[in-house]
Structure 1
Amino acid sequence: MEAAYRCLSDSHREPVTMSTILHTAGVSSRAFYRHFRSKDDLFLALLQEGADEIAARVDRVAAAEIGSPADQLATWIGEIFDLMVDPRRRMQMAVIDSEEVRSAAGYRDMRERSHASRERSLADILRRGRATGAFPLADPDHDAVAISALVSRILSSVAPEDMQAVKQAESRLLDFALRAVGAVARE
């Protein structure tokens, strides 16, 4: 999988061949097929690995229940933005979102499942906020999808090396999300 990340993150004009990935990994096709059925399977495994990591990070935020629901929402959003500024994670996310990986059979379904797993913890935070009155306008399941989509949109439009822009985007997103659920923006 590391070899696939390396090959896909390098500049290339043509699709990366399996032989290139196998050569980079230093494994035979027989060894590859013991673990994966196809190149698409490998690409879906890359997506699953990334999705599992993100879900685990945000699930920990929701499970910890530290601070107010607004604090938890801020921490949830912060976890996602932290991934953006980590060069290795950013490279992995770029590979996962590359044209080649997106063309893998089953990509769309797995991507939907990965979004749903990420949104589950956000919906839990929003539910707690609604129950305590901190988020009186929250519609947890729908708002989690909307906030998560907005996070993805913003992450794709902000230069990750511009930390000031990243922090400003994170702050604006949090303020928007808090207003959307009926909370007062944090100072």
Structure 2
Amino acid sequence: MPRVTEQYIQRRRREILDAARRCFALGGFHATTMDDVIDTAGLSPSVVYRWFRSKDELVLAVVRDTVQGIADAVDETAALEPLPPLGDAIGRIIDATLARVSHDDQDLSALAAHVWTEALQNTDVRELVADLYARIRTSLAELVRRHQSAGTVSADIDADAAARPLFALIPGFLVQRLLLGPEDTASYAAAINSVLRS
């Protein structure tokens, strides 16, 4: 029997996660069934259940994969050289978030709203999201501290406190996008920079 490579394992897992993400974004976590994911993935039930034993396990994997990717983007942005203006940094994070919740040019940003709803009802999802969101706020606080060292943000500001409203700009963009229609991230970032300078 041929040996299964790690690359094959990751590719197959990614196919299932991408199919689940599409289903969850369109129908929500509760309305989506494993059969929906199996049909969307175009795989046999035995293949999907080999990687994910239950829908709950698949939900957690999709949430972890999505939010982890956003947290990674925040970490990368906070460490950028040269140091980006805060608005530009938020714009980069939003672009990375949109890329994370898109597939084959299909906008799946509704997934974010479903994750927030699920976090209110599912303790495992809440703990996972809360841990990753705390990491995001820590990275944003570090970005503020770097700006303070560069003299572009007042040293009198509490960096940890400042990270909270900066973080809120990310889901705030997504909510407005979902309810009011697409918005350009560059103009959003420019508006943030203008407000912060005033």
Shared fold by TM > 0.5?
A: yes
1:2 corresponds in structure 2 to 18
The answer to whether the 8 Å contact 2:26/2:108 transfers is: no
1:80 to 93, 99, 108: 93
The answer to whether the 8 Å contact 1:95/1:101 transfers is: no
Q: 1:133 to 1:108 in 2, by over 3 A?
A: same
TM-score using structure 2 length: 0.69
Runs of 5+ in structure 2 lacking a partner?
1-16
1:144 Cα shift? 0.9
Structure 2 CA distance for aligned equivalents of residues 115 and 100 of structure 1? 11
For residue 115 of structure 1, what is the amino acid of its counterpart? Y
1:76 Cα shift? 1.5
- Of the structure 1 ranges 93-102 and 76-85, higher mean CA displacement relative to structure 2 is found in 93-102
Structure 1 CA distance for aligned equivalents of residues 176 and 116 of structure 2? 21
Structure 1 CA distance for aligned equivalents of residues 45 and 61 of structure 2? 17
C-alpha RMSD over aligned residues: 3.1
1:123 to 141, 144, 148: 141
1:53 Cα shift? 1.8
2:126 to 90, 93, 108: 108
- Of the structure 1 ranges 71-80 and 28-37, higher mean CA displacement relative to structure 2 is found in 28-37
TM-score using structure 1 length: 0.73
1:22 corresponds in structure 2 to 38
Aligned to 1:157, the other structure's residue is in SS state: helix
Structure 2 CA distance for aligned equivalents of residues 56 and 132 of structure 1? 23
2:60 corresponds in structure 1 to 44
State how many pairs are aligned: 173
Runs of 5+ in structure 1 lacking a partner?
179-183
Q: 1:32 to 1:100 in 2, by over 3 A?
A: farther
